[in-house]
Amino acid sequence: MLASNRSAAIWGGFLLAALGAAFCAWAAVAPSESLCISTGCSLYRNLTVWGLPLWWYGAGAFSLLALFCIFGKQGAARGFVWLMLAADTALLALMALTAPCAACLVVAALIAGTFVAIPSEIRRDRQQRISILLLLWGGLFFANGAALATERMGAWNLQGPESAPVTLYFSPSCPACRQAIAALASAAPDTVAYRPVAENDDDVPAIEQMRRAVEQGTPVAEALRAVTETPPSPAMSMLDQARLRWKLLRNKARVLSTGADRLPVMLISGMPRLPYGQGAEGAPAPSQPPKSAAPQAGPSTPVPGQGGKPTAPVAGTNGQDGVLPFLTNDFAGCGQTPTSNATCN
């Protein structure tokens, strides 16, 4: 009876080890788009040791562990899976400090499952050390899983595509945010993603009213102007309010992750087309830049990342500061199509 129970446990470890070997081999040869669903996947996919990707080391380790199990080498299997769990704990710690990898978490779960499936007959003092290792592994696995879930949920856009080269975090009660949105009012629709953040409880109904207006086709600038002029009082159920607050909390977390502590926050991806100055490929600009009125005073709230100084909107040719000349469909972020006078990072 004892031999039968022990044999069943070894076969359970063998099945998990074989599954781990197959998964690592698939990950080593699979196209990146089928594997990389998180930042960490892209970060660690091409990581090599002595010229060989880590996935092949994983496939080899699981294969050796499967051989130990199938031939009944219980002591060798238990010791080897202990080393695998220790190495995986170190990798989980590295991911916790950088970025979570979804595929790596699958491998981590298979290693831990194999560790539990293979029985042990060891001294009590070492059993305590192994329990501490498994506890440390579990804490790091949970931390990476939570970070992965947060990354996959992402932020909430009031308007604009996820891949927009310009992202603006704003609050309806922020005067500087209103100036920034007015400056972006004439930008091409597919170049700006507007992400609202609630600075106080009064911002929640204002953002809800803006959301309803935007869904009906109202531009963000006009929707913001309407809630500023008339105190909003949209009827909201407790469930709808909870959903909205959850979206706003995610946006606020993204703002804080950038290191900013005030609004507005504008993130730009790629190099925008310059209205004048250096042309494409470093070509000199015309001797006379386009004439325009002097820039108007910038927002009263400093924008993080600008050295604590207010950022002035760029004046248009008609003397208005509601237009940013580089925010057109010619914006040459690396996901856009560069034009003759655009460059790409």
The winner for highest mean pLDDT among 9-18, 112-121, 197-206, 283-292 is 197-206
Whether residue 185 is predicted with pLDDT greater than 90 in this model: the reply is: no
C-alpha span between 18 and 12 (Å, rounded): 10
Handedness of CA 248, 253, 256, 258 (dihedral sign): negative
Angle at 280 between CA 279 and CA 284, to 5 degrees: 35
Distance CA 28, CA 60 (A): 12
| Residue 262: per-residue pLDDT | 86
pLDDT tens-digit map of 213-263: 999 999 999 999 999 888 888 888 899 999 999 999 989 988 887 888 889
Would you state the torsion angle of the CA atoms of residues 94, 98, 103, 107, taken in this order, to the nearest 10 degrees? 10
What pLDDT, on a 0 to 100 scale, did the predictor assign at position 298?
A: 40
pLDDT (0 to 100) of residue 327: 52
134-146 residue pLDDT tens: 999 999 999 999 9
Whether pTM > 0.75 for this model: the answer is no
Q: What are the strands, taking DSSP E only, across the chain?
A: 48-49, 52-53, 166-170, 192-196, 265-268
Cα separation, 16 vs 218, in Å, equals: 55
Q: For residue range 320-331, what is the model confidence (pLDDT) as tens digits?
A: 444 454 455 444
**CA atoms of 311 and 302, how far apart (whole Å):** 7
Looking at mean pLDDT, say which of 156-160, 304-308, 325-329 comes out highest. 156-160
Q: What are phi and psi of 159, to 5 degrees?
A: -155, 150
Residue-wise pLDDT for 24-52, tens only, equals 999 988 876 667 777 788 788 778 888 88
Residue type, 183: A
More confident residue, 9 or 145: 145
- CATH numbers and ranges of domains, the chain: 2-153 (1.20.1440.130)
Tokens describing residue 154:
């992402």
Which residue is associated with the tokens 């005030």?
Answer: 262
Per DSSP bridges, beta strands 265-268 and 166-170 are: antiparallel
CA 97 to centroid of chain Cα atoms = 14
